[in-house]
Chain A
Amino acid sequence: MALSHITAMLLFSFLVSVVFAVLSKDTPRDRVIYGAKVFGAFLGIALLLGWIMYPLPW
């Protein structure tokens, strides 16, 4: 199963966010909110780093 980088990144972020949320918070509402924040942080930081590295020649 060949995945593109963005797809692999989305899946990885989602699964890690779920585990982090379940382990860190105690109520379902808190878990959903925290999981969404972690997922957003994963994607946001990855995209940000991608754009920062974009002009680099190597």
Chain B
Amino acid sequence: MAKRVFEEQVAAKPTPARGSLLRLCLAAWLIPGFGHLVLGRKWRALILFTSVISMFLLGLAMQGQFFSVHSGSYLQTLGFFGEMCVGVAMPAALFLGYSGGDPSFASADYGTAFLVAAGMLNVLTVLDAYDIALGRKP
């Protein structure tokens, strides 16, 4: 019953313009949770931001490796794009002096996994913000 009411409300709402959807997704990618904040979901934005950034910071603390596009390896290139999915966090970390990781550190492999997983979680948050903007989710 509640689902039918929600679906009727969704059908009644006008579809947002493509440009505004694109800007929303871009904002949601650059700063984790920002898309939800723009859409008025403050608590959801705060929790998502805290979780994704915490995972990223833990990855840095464990000396996780920043991948490079110029490595010549397809897997490392994929890893680079995975880490870039966190948004400005990776360039910011490099700008603030992060060396790119220490592969000889004991927890470095875990750190790298944390960095890439943070990116993947941010992809989910971007897609969720997109769905909310389209009215597919409350």
Q: Which residues of A contact B (CB under 8 A)?
A: 1-3, 5, 8, 11-12, 15-16, 18-19, 22-23, 26
Q: Mark B109-138, 1 if CB is under 8 A from A, else 0.
A: 010011001000100110010000000011
Once bound together, how far apart are the Cα atoms of A23 and B51, in whole Å? 12
Tell me which residues across on chain A come within 8 A of B137, comparing CB atoms: 26
Which 6 A-B pairs have CB atoms at the shortest separation, nearest pair first?
Answer: A1-B61, A8-B110, A2-B106, A15-B55, A18-B51, A2-B107
The main secondary structure of chain B at its interface with chain A is helix
Residues of B within 8 A of A (CB): 44, 47-48, 51-52, 54-55, 58, 61-62, 105-107, 110, 113-114, 117, 121, 124-125, 128, 137-138
- Output the least CB separation between A42 and chain B (Å): 12
User: Given known contacts A15-B55, A19-B52, A23-B124, is B113 in contact with A2 (CB within 8 Å)?
Assistant: no
Closest beta carbon of chain B to A33's beta carbon, Å? 16
A19 with B105: CB separation less than 8 A: no
